Homo-oligomer: A and B are copies of this chain.
C-alpha cells in the first residue's frame, strides 16, 4: 500500500537502477582493519592449546596413533564435559518447564517425584514459559529465590530489585566493566594471577589493567600492601582507579579469603573510593574444612561505618559449585549500595540483550533453592550433591600432593574453586631452549605436555604471574580414576623433562 504524505522531509525517491562493480576480496574487514582493542585481546583458556587438543581428539577418533590413549581436558572448569553427571532434581524440573505438556500425561507425572512437578508449576506460574523474553532483570519468581538464598547465607536483608539474572557471571562482569571503563585513564584492579575474562574485557574496552599480586608464598593471600603498591603505581601513571575486582574463592589459585582479610579489602576500597566487584562463583567450592566462604556482602554489612556506603557488585553463576551447569549460562549479579540512577543504567544495559536465557534463569533458581529435608527428592539430591563434593575434595588434595611430589614443582593447597596453579622451577637449559624458539617457557611446557601425554592445561602466562616465575593452571575435574592416570602421565612427562633439561 503506497500513499504520499504531506509531512515528509526530502528523501530520495528516484527509481533505483542495477549497477555492478567488481570488489577486492577482504577489502572491508581484513585483519588489519579490526578494532585493535579486539585484536590485542587474549583469552588463553580457549587458545592454541585447546585447538591443538581438539586436533588430537579428532585424530584419535579417526584411528590415528597418538602416544596417549585419550586427551584429558584440564584447561577449563567444565565439569560435565569430563564426566560429572548433572544433579537429577534440577534437570527434571527444567525438563518439565521446557515441555509443560509432559505434565498432562499421568504416566509421566507418576514417574517423577511430586516436588519436581510442584517446583515446575511454581516457576511456570511466575513467567510466560521458557519461550518468552522475560523482564530484563529476569523473572521475579527466580529473583525471589535468589533473594531468599542471599538472606539465608548472609543474615542481612536483600532487595529483589537489586538482583539481575545474567547469562553466566561473564555477562554481568562485562556489563559492569563497560559502565566503568571509558578509556585508558580508567583503571581496573585485578589480581595476578587472574581469570582472563577480566584482562580480555579490559583490553576490549581500552581500559587500563591495574595488577595487584597475590602472595604465592603465603597461600595466595591478598594483602592491602599489594593493593597499595598497585594503586600507587597506577596513580603515578595518571590512571584513575575505578574498581577493585576480587575473585574469592580464587581462580586460578584456589585460595579462600578469611573474614578478616575481606574486611581489610573493604576498608581499603572505602579509603580509595572504588567499587568492589566480587567474583564469588566458587562460593560452594570450599574443600578445606577449616575454611568457610564469607560473602563480601555479608562482611560489608557487618562493618557499621561502611555498611551503607561501599559500593559492591557481586556475581554468581550456575556453571560452578556442585551443580556445574556451564552450558545453561545461568547466573546473577547483586547490586549493593549502588546509586538508584546507576541501577537504571545497569537495567538499560542488560535490556539491550533483552534478557538472559530462560533455562539458565530456571537453573539459577534450582541452584539457590535446593530440596529441603522432607521433600521427596531431598535424600537422592543430597546423596548426589555430597558424592560430587567429597570427590572434588579428594581430587583437590590428591592433585596438589601429586604436584608437590614432582621435582621442581611447588603448589599451594587448593582450599576452594576447581584449580591448582603450581609453580615450576624451569631449568636454565629449558629457558634457553624456549628463548631461542621465541615461545614463553610455560607455554612450551604445556604444548609439549599435551603432545606427549594428551593432558591439556593452560600456561600461567594466560593468567598472569610474577615475572620470572612459571606456572600452569589445571583443573581437578576429570573423574577420580582418570585423575590418577593424569597424575601418572604428568609425573612421567615431568621426570623426563627434568632429566632432559635440568
Q: Are A2 and B412 in contact (CB under 8 A)?
A: yes
Known A18-B264, A469-B8; contact A219-B1, beta-carbon cutoff 8 A: yes
Q: Are B2 and A179 in contact (CB under 8 A)?
A: no
A171 at the B interface (CB under 8 A): yes
Interface-lining segment among A125-133, A144-152, A156-164 = A125-133
- A interface size (C-beta, 8 A): 156
- 8 Å CB interface, A20-35 against B: 20-31, 33-35
Docked pose: A91 CA to B400 CA in angstroms: 44
Interface-lining segment among A290-298, A354-362, A490-498 = A354-362
A270 at the B interface (CB under 8 A): yes
A375 at the B interface (CB under 8 A): no
Task: Report the minimal beta-carbon distance from A393 to chain B, rounded to whole angstroms.
Answer: 16
A261 at the B interface (CB under 8 A): yes
Instruction: Give me 26 A-to-B residue pairs in the complex whose CB atoms sit less than 8 angstroms apart, sorted by A's number.
Output: A2-B218, A2-B412, A11-B229, A14-B225, A16-B221, A16-B223, A19-B267, A24-B273, A25-B339, A26-B337, A26-B339, A29-B242, A29-B275, A29-B311, A31-B341, A31-B342, A31-B345, A34-B179, A41-B352, A46-B354, A132-B327, A133-B326, A170-B352, A327-B358, A328-B358, A329-B354
A182 at the B interface (CB under 8 A): yes
A59 at the B interface (CB under 8 A): no
Docked pose: A11 CA to B211 CA in angstroms: 12
Interface-lining segment among A63-71, A78-86, A451-459 = A78-86
Docked pose: A183 CA to B305 CA in angstroms: 42
- 8 Å CB interface, A66-98 against B: 76, 78-81, 86, 88, 91-92, 94-96, 98
Q: Are B270 and A5 in contact (CB under 8 A)?
A: no
- Name 4 extra pairs, CB < 8 A, besides A94-B99, A129-B327: A22-B305, A29-B311, A35-B178, A36-B182
Interface-lining segment among A197-205, A245-253, A479-487 = A197-205
Docked pose: A311 CA to B25 CA in angstroms: 8
Q: Are B243 and A328 in contact (CB under 8 A)?
A: no
Contact of A11 (CB < 8 Å), options: B170, B213, B338? B213
Docked pose: A171 CA to B166 CA in angstroms: 13
A117 at the B interface (CB under 8 A): no
Contact flags (1/0) for A247-276 with B, using CB distance below 8 Å? Answer: 000000000000011011001111101110
Q: Are B29 and A217 in contact (CB under 8 A)?
A: no
- 8 Å CB interface, A306-364 against B: 306, 308-311, 319, 324-329, 337-339, 341-342, 345, 348-349, 351-360
Task: Report the minimal beta-carbon distance from A311 to chain B, rounded to whole angstroms.
Answer: 5
Q: Are A325 and B16 in contact (CB under 8 A)?
A: no
Find chain B residues with CB under 8 A from A377 CB.
none
Docked pose: A128 CA to B73 CA in angstroms: 13
Find chain B residues with CB under 8 A from A135 CB.
54
Contact of A35 (CB < 8 Å), options: B29, B92, B181, B309? B181
Q: Are B469 and A5 in contact (CB under 8 A)?
A: yes
